[in-house]
Structure 1
Amino acid sequence: MRVLKKFFSGDNLLERVLILIVGLVASLILVIKSADLFVDNLVDLGSSLGISEVILGVTASAIGTSLPEFGSALIASLSGSTDIGVGCVIGSNIWNIAGILGISSVVAGIIETNADGLKRDFSATLVTGLILLFFMFFGNIGKIAALVMVLTYAVYLWRLIKAQKTYSDENSGKNEREPLDLKKLALTVVGFAGLVIGCRILVYTGVELADIAGIPAMIMGLFTLAIGTSIPELVVTLSSAVKGLHELSIGTVLGSNTFNILVGIGVPALIAPVPVERLSLTFDAPVMILVTVLLVLLIRQGDMKLKRTGGIVLLAVYISYVIMRLFVLA
């Protein structure tokens, strides 16, 4: 943080704003290029190891791209800025579905999935949201809620391991696996490192610009930090959808949303109680659950496909949410 603060400092406000904007654009380019590298090589590695695309999406890709949200929530908890942490996670989850999948389906034209993967990962995402909402009714999210969340994520991982075993048994002997390519492994790590570094700079410059503009902490968490920390999901999901890796695309978003709550809120809550703002309970969390259900309805209505029209509906819902949150309920 000190290095970034020193690097992006200026002699006056105008110079500092210009440096921050340049840093924002440069980090965005780094994130996009790194995500492309990460996706291509991650898929190849998964094929070499015999891991299904959807499992790869909800584990390695989802957890990897969710680290910025987790880091932001953890740092916010340790520094006492817990409003930012909760807002960042809830806002990020709404953006992941309504914004990221909306944009990806509009650009790619269509995102396909299968019934088994959707049922397992959607149910996990929905139950996760309901667990969070349940504990929010009791006020601060404390250690008991945190333990339930972390244990729930452990159960979800166990289900994924069982699903992967089934996939491996069904596909054993069908396709000859290629040997593990260490170069692809190295490129995957390089791509991920680029994502982490690029996102850290992206979030820092975005937050600093928002702070200069006088944006409140909760709004900063819901939108500035939420969208900023979700850039990895956006570029990975969009890149996957355009490349035709639809299950990786859907899996990254649903797996990321599950991880964001159960680990992104659960672990910080083990350290210090996470306070719940009234609007987060009465509006933000219900909207998060609403868009999750809406996503599945649109996919089922589209015969297991999220079509461009469905993407437009999701984007319209997100824009409506932003307007309501910023100008009506603020």
Structure 2
Amino acid sequence: MYIAFALVLLFIGAEGLVRGSSSLALRAGLSRLMVGLTIVAFGTSSPELVVSVEAALSNQGDISVGNVVGSNIFNIAVILGITALVCPIPVHRQVIKVDAPVALGVALLLVLLLFNQTLSRFEGVLLFSGIVAYTWMSFILARREASPASADNEDILAVTQSRHWGMDIAFILAGLAVLVVGSRLLVEHAVALAGSFGISEAVIGLTIVAAGTSMPELATSLVAAFRKQPDIAIGNIVGSNIFNVLGILGVASVISPMEAPGISALDYGVMIMFSVLLIPLLYTGRRLHRVEGGVLLALYFGYLFLLWPE
């Protein structure tokens, strides 16, 4: 009951944060395309950020890292899988050549840094520097891609500017407040659930917490698919996966260095597998087909079958 309520709060908080920050960015003169590829993608990852920071401060590193690893797996396998089943996804060339390889490289970097099962403040600074560099690169590429295709993406995003900047600030502050409350409820009751059923914090973080904090990404991708213009779904998911590792674990480990002994080689291996698999799936015809979406979902359920008996 409390976990479901916490997930609703996370969804509402993320919606407020994305709406306010997007409107404020448009007011500052940024294009809708740039807003969508950066602020919206990062904003839908705000539940993961708040939950992982809260878990790190509570010395629950397995939940913090498991949330990110599980979210990255869930984003590719479930969200892209479901979106492709709803409507085959056309893929922008930049995603294949730049963003998907960056997401794979970031996943490999995380596995390397967590080889000793810890993330230090120095490693957190390194990760956070990476998200700053990636964001800057995204802005540069977005400016170069100023073309008629940009207008299509703007329609997909349906990002609007409010009447006054004060409303933007109110949405941002209210969204953050709701996110904080929701994240605390989710972490506390997810840990209690794990203890009552004898399930490890790592498994709870990799599944329930990860799936719950990925709901904004799922909603964004499904809306794009139902509009029959789902190109933004790929950018949203790939951008969120990059931000999850570089931004979320970067910030969380700078605030509080963490240990994550409960995250196994299987979990890291599955994250790498989906990151690798995404590139050829996107490259074939530059479209993610329904059959490929079904394969992604089947592989995810296979992962759950291996994970839960532990």
Report the TM-score when normalising by structure 2. Answer: 0.80
Tell me if the contact between 1:62 and 1:251 (Cα under 8 Å) persists in the aligned partners: yes
Q: Distance between the aligned counterparts of 2:136 and 2:28, measured in 1?
A: 22
89, 93, 98: which one aligns with 2:72: 93
Aligned residue pairs total: 296
Q: Distance between the aligned counterparts of 1:34 and 1:184, measured in 2?
A: 20
Tell me if the contact between 2:70 and 2:210 (Cα under 8 Å) persists in the aligned partners: yes
Q: Distance between the aligned counterparts of 2:211 and 2:4, measured in 1?
A: 18
Question: Is 1:307 aligned to 2:307, yes or no?
Answer: no
The AA in structure 1 aligned to 2:234 is: I
Gaps of 5+ in 1: 1-18
- After TM superposition, give the deviation of residue 276 of structure 1 in Å: 3.2
Equivalent residue number for residue 241 of structure 2 = 257
What is the RMSD computed on CA atoms of the aligned residues?
3.6
Tell me if the contact between 2:113 and 2:123 (Cα under 8 Å) persists in the aligned partners: yes
- After TM superposition, give the deviation of residue 36 of structure 1 in Å: 11
Match of 1:264, SS state, is: helix
Where in structure 2 are the equivalents of 1:216-227 lying within 5 Å?
216-227=200-211
155, 163, 178: which one aligns with 2:133: 155
Pair 1:153–1:37, CA change in 2 (3 A)? closer
Q: Distance between the aligned counterparts of 2:14 and 2:244, measured in 1?
A: 21
Match of 2:145, SS state, is: helix
Q: Distance between the aligned counterparts of 2:54 and 2:295, measured in 1?
A: 34
Alpha-carbon deviations, 1:78-119, whole Å to 9, x = none? 11111110111101110011011111111x221112112332
Equivalent residue number for residue 81 of structure 2 = 102
269, 274, 296: which one aligns with 2:279: 296
Gaps of 5+ in 2: 155-159
Report the TM-score when normalising by structure 1. Answer: 0.76
Alpha-carbon deviations, 1:116-160, whole Å to 9, x = none? 233221122111101101112234121232222111111111211
Alpha-carbon deviations, 1:212-255, whole Å to 9, x = none? 45343111111111111111111111112222342321111111
Please say which of residues 122-131 and 199-208 is displaced more in the overlay: 199-208
Rg larger for:
1
Pair 1:50–1:150, CA change in 2 (3 A)? closer
Where in structure 2 are the equivalents of 1:1-330 lying within 5 Å?
20=2, 23=5, 27=8, 31=11, 51=31, 53=33, 55-106=34-85, 108-168=86-146, 181-183=161-163, 186=167, 190=171, 197=178, 201=182, 204=185, 208=189, 211-212=192-193, 213-214=196-197, 215-277=199-261, 279-280=263-264, 282-301=265-284, 303-327=285-309, 330=310
